[in-house]
Chains A and B, each alone.
Chain A
Amino acid sequence: MKKRVLAGFFLSLSLMLSACSGGGGTAAPGEQAKPQEGQAAAAKTELVVAAEQEPVGYDPHKVPAASSVRVYALIYDSLTKLDENMNIVPNLAEKWEVSPDGKTVTMFLHKGVKFHNGKDMTADDVKFTFERIMNPDTGSIAKSYFSSVESIEVKDPTTIVFKLKNADAAFIANTASAYASIVPSGSTDLTKEAIGTGPFKMEKAEPGQYVLLKKNPDYFNKDLPKVETIKFQIMKDEAERLAAIRSGKIDISVVSADSAKLLEGKPGVQVKNYQSLEYSYLGINVNKKPFDNPKVREAISYAVDRNQIVQTVWKGEAALTGPIAPALTNWALDTASYPTYKTDVEKAKQLLAEAGFPNGFETQIETAATYPDMVETAQVIQQQLKAIGINAKINQLEWGNYIEVWKSKDMNLMVGRNTSGVDADRSMRFFFSTTGSANVWNYSNPAYDELVAKALATVDQAERKKLYEQAQTMLVADAPNLFLASPKNYYAVRDNIDFTPTAAGEVYSLIKTAIK
């Protein structure tokens, strides 16, 4: 009897479940269609943005991860910001004055700005913020941006004075960084609470699922933001994001160049792109033999066909780049002026022979397995170097391991990506001066160091531009890195969303985004 009951139970369960699993899918579309129509009737006020990675904390001074920045940059404001033409424009500071010797910067703050907890934002908060950034114990990413600051004085609640050790032409631009977001004075643990003055407030963060931001009704720019809530929906899989944007579950998603092609002309979705501030590079360790010989580096530079990388890796959707990404139009030199950008295999072979390697040599290229474009870039370069007798083995590293190798300063060749930042100083000094934190290539050239130091201390912008042009030419000729391509970034956007991405960053666009 018991067996009978058991058997009956199993069978009925089977039938029930088969029916469910078969019927679930077909019944669902009808059910789903209803709320969508309903949504159209009631005005939609929530913007849903796909997040490819989960944020790893919201402390703007400590967390550089892009997945976090895109969220906390909506919660906090910095003193200045970039507009779509990459110009520095007022933000919390409504204007500023620089003394003739360039050593004193006075910032005048907006009046009546409040933090999300209702507290007034004053010069004390700004002073606290910068002292927190400059305190070595904080471990702030932006500390190196403000190494020229000697002291900070609060003149009155809306006036703050930065005294600099030396003229620092990049200072104002660096205050536009999200890493220099203004936090309330007395903040200790920003991982737990995110309270800023920004256009959105942190409403709820559900780990692994979403981050929900709500409009700040007291935002100091009365016309913005234009949506009630923004929800960052964590979706790690590209296929899932594509399916979700096509079925209208999400409004905005970053997509790869390949996916962008798939989405072209599909109903309900538009693909938008912009020239990013990122560029890919081939790093060369100038301490390692044979790369310590400038002729070898020059040979590699002639052998690598950057246009082929643009075509193969980026499907033609990228621009050639020098040490400064071309989107930074105020600073970037036209790549046509670099002789080594004209691929010349014969000349490369001759240079290698002069350097004592008529038959080439064996070497290794490190690359990050996490990023398909980096792997493909390494593969294209591997092929191109074969033509001059250099046999490079490719090492695909997992991201954590990749960072370790990058830090070690002991690699041979390494494919990577940099972000140009907002001012030429970062692209040039931070990455390539002898003492630059991110100079892991052991490149040390006193003439170059002098040029970029002089450019940093030059307040006259036209003069500065000339110095940086010289520095860019020098860097490309010395080739501690080969600068390859600056890709376009793609967004898939639903038709009813008015969102225009620019190199100024996603945050800048999201604040202005409206739902039609």
Chain B
Amino acid sequence: MGSYLIKRVASLIPILFGISVLVFTILHLVPGDPASIMLGTNATPEAIAALHKSMGLDQPLYTQYLHWIGGMLQGNFGVSVHTGEEILPQILKRFSITLQLTLFGVLIGWALAIPFGILSAVRAHSKTDIIVRVATLLGISVPNFAIGTLLLLGFSLYFNWFPPIDVVSFWEDPVEAFKVFILPAVTMGIVVAAGVMRMTRSAFLETMDKDFIRTARAKGNSQWTVVMGHAFRNSSIPIVTIAGMQIGYLLGGSVIVEQLFSIPGLGQYILEGIYQRDYPVVQGGVLFVALVFVLVNLLIDLIYTWIDPRIKY
């Protein structure tokens, strides 16, 4: 187990290095230039040149890369070429917001998905099952920006309620944070729920057909004990897998929801960086998301061993 962990962590280094080269290359291949974007279509060539110089963009590309990666290795993410502010504190601050939003969204998703998924598997082909499956289909098909917009407009039109616009963290003011995050988290949660619900249903359907379930029933156990005591743990591996992947994707992919509800999260930060061609911001941000993503995957792999003792590394 220990050696496995060391191996896994060591394998992160080439992965992250590869990503750093890839992000840097792609970003610099994309047409567009931070100085010109900043100055817009009223710029004079000399103003652009001066800005280039102050941004350090007059250097050859490999120099720029080495300069950046050298800084990164010392934990220095550099500064934004536009605002001159330090990038790392911004990333951490925004990541904490995205993380809160994501976890809240995932919790809402699971809270909806797991009970209903189990229900629709246990009562396969009943009316309940059909309703749950239609709801799932809707959740998967309707894009999250549409759900979010409907929630926002619906609440503001019919209840004259609008979420607080200043974002606070749960540990600063849980009640206020709940109000801030509830609509975006529900928006995320609906999409999450649809995926998890499908997975839960099919995993349970498969398990409920197994011999040990028939044995458990034959022993005279109640339905509840059979489902929760015998089927639950055996069905949870695929559910945990999909949940882990979702957390990973949501951390990077919450950008649409963040944009819609003006949540200053990491996704929004990177997106804004892309629009402005703020190279260090995008490079640092993407690398950070990649790191989180691989760490989440590692964590999921470790959770497997706890769920299913037969899995050994």
Contact = CB atoms under 8 A, between A and B. Distances in A.
Interface SS majority for chain B: helix
B40 A403 contact: yes
Interface in A373-405: 398-401, 403-405
A208 B42 contact: no
Contacts of A249: 162, 165
Interface in A155-209: 189, 191-192, 206-209
A70 to B, nearest CB: 15
Nearest to B107: A17
- Which of B84, B85, B165, B268 has its CB near the most chain A CB atoms (within 10 A)? B165
A21 B189 contact: yes
B44 interface: yes
Interface string A12-35: 011111101100111011001100
B156 interface: yes
A330 B4 CA distance: 78
Interface stretch (A237-245, A284-292, A340-348, A503-511): A237-245
Interface in A417-433: 418-419, 430
26 contacts: A3-B232, A11-B115, A14-B111, A15-B111, A17-B110, A21-B186, A28-B159, A28-B182, A29-B161, A33-B160, A64-B40, A65-B40, A136-B50, A139-B50, A139-B51, A208-B269, A209-B264, A233-B165, A235-B262, A239-B152, A244-B156, A399-B32, A400-B275, A401-B32, A404-B31, A437-B45
B41 interface: yes
Interface residues of B, number: 69
B182 A25 contact: yes
Contact of A25 (B36, B159, B229, B276): B159
Contacts of A209: 166-167, 262, 264
B82 A10 contact: no
A236 B260 CA distance: 7
A243 B229 contact: no
Nearest to B152: A243
A20 B177 CA distance: 13
Contact of B41 (A234, A242, A398, A403): A403
B8 interface: no
B201 to A, nearest CB: 15
Interface stretch (A54-62, A75-83, A295-303): A54-62
Contacts of A404: 31-33, 36
Contacts of A237: 259-262
Given A400-B31, A438-B41, A136 B46 contact: yes
Contacts, number: 203
Grouping DSSP codes into helix (H, G, I), strand (E, B) and loop, the A interface class, with mixed when no group exceeds half, is helix
A26 B232 CA distance: 33
A407 B262 contact: no
Given A14-B114, A141-B47, A240 B261 contact: yes
A463 interface: no
B26 interface: no
A400 B37 contact: yes
B155 to A, nearest CB: 6
A28 to B, nearest CB: 5
B232 A56 contact: no
A308 B30 CA distance: 36
Interface string A292-336: 000000000000000000000000000000000000000000000
Nearest to A31: B179
B95 to A, nearest CB: 12
Contacts of B179: 24, 28
A234 to B, nearest CB: 6
A239 B82 contact: no
Interface in A221-271: 233-237, 239-240, 242-244, 246-247, 249-250
A399 to B, nearest CB: 7
Nearest to A404: B31
Interface residues of A, number: 73
Nearest to A237: B260
B96 interface: no
Contact of A247 (B114, B161, B272): B161
Interface string B52-85: 0110000000000000000000000000001111
B13 interface: no
B247 interface: no
Contacts of B189: 21
A57 to B, nearest CB: 5
B233 to A, nearest CB: 6
A45 B261 CA distance: 25
A119 interface: no
A249 B117 CA distance: 39
A496 to B, nearest CB: 16
Contact of B228 (A7, A26, A240): A7
A20 B32 CA distance: 46
Contacts of A244: 156, 162, 165
B242 to A, nearest CB: 16
A143 interface: yes
Contacts of A206: 264
B147 to A, nearest CB: 12
Nearest to B164: A249
Contacts of B297: none
A140 interface: yes
B217 interface: no
A18 B111 contact: yes
A492 interface: no
Contacts of A29: 159-161
Contacts of A56: 38, 82-83, 276
A466 B208 CA distance: 90
Contacts of A234: 262, 264
A6 interface: yes
Contacts of A461: none
A257 B32 CA distance: 30
Interface in B181-227: 182, 186, 189
